[in-house]
């Protein structure tokens, strides 16, 4: 009898061990593919590491008909793309290069795992951008600036001798969504990354990534010639400095022949740059472009520049870069944040897009949730990415979207690129929050094809990451698709921005006024609340940032009546009793927005709890506990902002809204210590 009980106990435990998941497999779980197709059902010519990976993926996971993998030089126009065609009794994947075949294999596996049809296929895919790149803000000591999923994946201390299995897992995950480039280190770069010792470590990663089609890039410190090379200065017009960079580039290419190039943050937030020597951004970028050019390398020069200035911070990038239009070499591309301030929950799009008529431009997004509740909040970012890409700049007439400007459609470019700051760390589930994996996934999919909808991307990700059962997919998709707007509502609705606690940017601090410090680091600089109203006047009577937009946008944004209400406080200082389109006053609208944000997060909690039976216990509980934090944080935001702004509006919080549960004075005392997240 004892034995029988033991057997029952073992039997009861088995399902939990089978179904326990930690999120480490991301969207590449393949729960039903115990083993895939046999090797004799795969026809391919050649012996290439990338091709071998493609075949291995099929043998492990593909359960469909026989396949042929075929390289075809006539498909050059598809770049990294591929075709998948049903021909008689087999599927044929064709591409100019082996990496295209691997991308085609991942496409097929995605169709299989999302229960899409794999018969009668006639697919042609071509990437929207040439360079689809992650920017890691990882430091050489293993910390990550704005990283919320643990320490860095890159174990610099162990390299080059000890190799983590996660390096290849990382490359595979990126290849599966078409990401083909990575910047390994923080834009606030240490010159040490260019030392011989570190280049040997970088080589190991480059070698692992190469078969997955991923090129390595490095962030470089503009002062490297002085700091690392012992030169007198790092003036880009100094011949010795130019020679130092040339020698360094040659050294890099000897070690890593397919090295991608440099990412540069210069003359911003105290970083060194060409302006230290009275030179321009173009002087600095071109000097680097020249040394990389013989080996096909590129320079991504960030337009995120702002220094202490009386000018509206939202205007600075435009003011510095527009006068340099046409002065950059053809292997230099200007990397522009999606908005003119800094990765806010919602910003107007950056007016620099389209304004540089003769200079290639690329978007920089942020996948890591620096301003969106870190990895505690469920905020699906595809709608934010799409909002930017689909924004019409009117730079070349109606229909001049940021997507069309940056992908070479409107202005044929030698080089197109798109980037995002990664949210990846050493946590088992890679991104801290299981749902934050969707943002890495969404960026990859949109970099490959920016015409995909947020809904389609969410649908794919949910089915591959959890289950294709519609009882789960439908409510989770609704939650994801509304989550960005929900975060905007409980944090900074109607165009409010940058009212975060200083330094770590977690939580509200609308009262923050860092007297004696930089005014543009203070929340009060951005919301401008007073007895009259709320918001930053960027019209002609204010900072005139509206003048940086092409007609008709300058007039639309310059007029309070025609400004989209979700940006009204971005462009206008609005009276508290101003009547909004729905008849509410500004104060009422603001109050109801905060309340809606809180209610929605509580609805997410209910939605998730009902779905327990569809999810393994570990992931269910992890998401559940994060939603509890998000719900508390939403109330914190609502109370802090409404109680603080109420001091100026002197109006009651509408009585059908839940009463504040905090006292303003208590909220002002909260000081978080965010550890190494700074």
478 part of the active site: no
Q: Please report the pLDDT score of residue 14 as a whole number.
A: 38
* Closest residue by Cα to residue 268 from 235, 298, 310, 301: 301
Q: Please report the pLDDT score of residue 537 as a whole number.
A: 98
92-107 mean pLDDT: 98
Q: Please report the pLDDT score of residue 678 as a whole number.
A: 32
% of the chain surpassing 70 pLDDT: 96
In this model, does residue 13 exceed pLDDT 80? no
SS3 content of the chain, % helix, strand, coil (to 5): 45, 10, 45
Q: Please report the pLDDT score of residue 18 as a whole number.
A: 41
145 part of the active site: no
Burial of 414 (C-beta count, 10 Å sphere; 0-12/13-18/19+): exposed
Banded model confidence at residue 520, pLDDT cuts 50, 70, 90: confident
Domains and CATH numbers, the chain: 31-125 (3.30.379.10), 131-451 (3.20.20.80), 488-536+573-677 (3.90.1330.10)
For residue range 293-350, list pLDDT tens digits in order: 999 999 999 999 877 778 999 999 999 999 999 999 999 999 999 999 999 999 999 9
For residue range 542-562, list pLDDT tens digits in order: 999 999 999 999 999 999 999
Q: Please report the pLDDT score of residue 517 as a whole number.
A: 78
For residue range 450-484, list pLDDT tens digits in order: 999 999 999 999 999 999 999 999 999 999 999 99
* Closest residue by Cα to residue 152 from 367, 436, 426, 437: 426
Residue matched to tokens 């995120």: 304
Q: Please report the pLDDT score of residue 10 as a whole number.
A: 39
Q: Please report the pLDDT score of residue 55 as a whole number.
A: 97
Active-site residue, from 269, 330, 471, 531: 269
Cβ contact 586:532 at 8 Å: no
Active-site residue, from 21, 113, 347, 370: 370
- β-bridge partners, 508: 500
In this model, does residue 17 exceed pLDDT 60? no
In this model, does residue 30 exceed pLDDT 50? yes
In this model, does residue 643 exceed pLDDT 50? yes
Q: Please report the pLDDT score of residue 211 as a whole number.
A: 98
In this model, does residue 611 exceed pLDDT 60? yes
Q: Please report the pLDDT score of residue 515 as a whole number.
A: 77
370-386 mean pLDDT: 98
Q: Which two tokens stand for residue 405?
A: 């400007």
- β-bridge partners, 302: 335
Q: Is 270 left (phi over 0), alpha (psi -120 to 50) or beta?
A: left
For residue range 574-607, list pLDDT tens digits in order: 999 999 999 999 999 999 999 999 999 999 999 9
Q: Please report the pLDDT score of residue 15 as a whole number.
A: 39
For residue range 169-183, list pLDDT tens digits in order: 999 999 999 999 999
Cβ contact 285:332 at 8 Å: yes
What does pTM read for this prediction?
Answer: 0.96
CA distance 28 to 37: 17
Cβ contact 594:642 at 8 Å: yes
* Closest residue by Cα to residue 677 from 151, 222, 225, 322: 151
Q: How many CB atoms lie under 10 A from the CB of residue 634?
A: 26
Cβ contact 599:665 at 8 Å: no
- β-bridge partners, 123: 84
* Closest residue by Cα to residue 414 from 5, 130, 76: 130
Cβ contact 389:403 at 8 Å: yes
Active-site residue, from 125, 342, 554, 633: 342
Q: Please report the pLDDT score of residue 310 as a whole number.
A: 85
52 part of the active site: no
In this model, does residue 11 exceed pLDDT 50? no
Q: What is the 3-state secondary structure (H, E, C) of 186-217?
A: CCCCCHHHHCHHHHHHHHHHHHHHHHHCCEEE
Residue matched to tokens 């059908």: 656
Q: Please report the pLDDT score of residue 660 as a whole number.
A: 98
Q: Please report the pLDDT score of residue 308 as a whole number.
A: 72
70-82 mean pLDDT: 96
């Amino acid at each position: 009898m004892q034995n029988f009980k033991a057997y029952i106990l073992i039997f009861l435990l088995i399902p939990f061990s089978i179904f326990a998941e930690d999120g480490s497999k991301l969207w590449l779980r393949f729960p039903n593919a115990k083993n895939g197709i046999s090797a004799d059902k795969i026809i391919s010519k050649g012996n290439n590491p990338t091709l071998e990976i493609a075949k291995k993926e099929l043998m492990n996971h593909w359960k469909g008909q026989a396949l042929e993998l075929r390289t075809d030089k006539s498909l050059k126009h598809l770049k990294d793309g591929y075709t998948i065609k049903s021909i008689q009794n087999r599927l044929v994947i064709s591409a100019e290069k082996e990496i295209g075949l691997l991308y085609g294999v991942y496409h097929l596996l995605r169709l299989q795992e999302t229960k899409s049809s794999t018969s009668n296929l006639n697919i042609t895919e071509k990437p929207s951008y040439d360079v689809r790149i992650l920017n890691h803000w990882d430091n050489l000591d293993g910390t990550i600036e704005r990283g919320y999923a643990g320490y860095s994946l890159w174990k610099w201390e162990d390299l080059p001798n000890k190799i983590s299995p996660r390096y290849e897992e990382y490359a595979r995950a990126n290849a599966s969504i078409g990401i083909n480039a990575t910047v390994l280190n923080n834009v606030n770069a240490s010159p040490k990354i260019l030392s011989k010792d570190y280049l040997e470590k970088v080589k190991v990663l480059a070698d692992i990534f190469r078969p997955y089609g991923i090129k390595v890039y490095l962030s470089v410190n503009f002062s490297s010639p002085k700091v690392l090379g012992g030169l007198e200065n790092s003036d880009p017009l100094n011949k010795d400095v130019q020679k130092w960079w040339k020698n360094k580039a040659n050294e890099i290419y000897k070690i890593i022949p397919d090295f991608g190039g440099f990412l540069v943050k210069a003359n911003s937030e105290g970083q060194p740059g060409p302006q230290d020597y009275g030179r321009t951004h173009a002087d600095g970028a071109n000097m680097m472009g020249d040394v990389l050019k013989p080996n096909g390398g590129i320079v991504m020069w960030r337009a995120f520049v702002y220094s202490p200035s009386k000018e509206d911070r939202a205007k600075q990038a435009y003011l510095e870069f527009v006068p340099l239009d046409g002065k950059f070499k053809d292997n230099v591309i200007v990397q522009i944040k999606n908005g003119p301030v800094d990765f806010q929950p919602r910003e107007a799009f950056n007016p620099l897009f389209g304004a540089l008529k003769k200079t290639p431009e690329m978007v920089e997004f942020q996948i890591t949730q620096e301003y969106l509740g870190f990895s505690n909040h469920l905020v699906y970012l595809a709608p934010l990415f799409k909002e930017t890409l689909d924004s019409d700049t009117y730079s070349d007439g109606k229909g001049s979207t940021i997507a069309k400007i940056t992908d070479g459609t409107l202005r044929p470019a030698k080089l197109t690129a798109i980037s995002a700051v990664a949210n990846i760390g050493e946590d088992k589930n890679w991104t801290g929050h299981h749902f934050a994996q969707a943002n890495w996934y969404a960026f990859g999919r949109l970099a490959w094809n920016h015409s995909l909808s947020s809904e389609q991307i969410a649908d794919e990700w949910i089915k591959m990451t959890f289950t294709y059962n519609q009882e789960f997919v439908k409510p989770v998709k609704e939650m994801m698709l509304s989550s960005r707007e929900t975060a905007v509502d409980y944090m900074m609705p109607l165009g409010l921005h940058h009212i975060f606690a200083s330094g770590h940017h977690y939580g509200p601090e609308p009262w923050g006024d860092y007297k004696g410090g930089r005014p543009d680091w203070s929340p009060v600089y951005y919301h401008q609340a007073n007895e009259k109203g709320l918001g930053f006047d960027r019209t002609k009577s204010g900072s005139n940032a509206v003048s940086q937009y092409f007609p008709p946008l300058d007039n639309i944004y310059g007029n309070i009546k025609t400004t989209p209400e979700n940006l009204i406080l971005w462009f206008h200082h609005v009276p508290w009793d101003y009547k909004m389109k729905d008849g509410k006053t500004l104060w009422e609208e603001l109050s109801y927005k905060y309340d809606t944000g809180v209610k929605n997060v509580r609805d997410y909690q209910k939605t998730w709890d009902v779905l327990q039976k569809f999810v393994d216990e570990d992931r269910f509980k992890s998401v559940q506990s994060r939603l509890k934090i998000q719900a508390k944080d939403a109330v914190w935001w609502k109370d802090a902002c409404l109680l603080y702004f109420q001091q100026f509006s002197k109006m009651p919080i509408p009585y059908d809204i839940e009463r504040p549960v905090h006292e303003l004075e208590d909220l002002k005392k909260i000081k978080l210590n965010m550890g190494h997240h700074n």
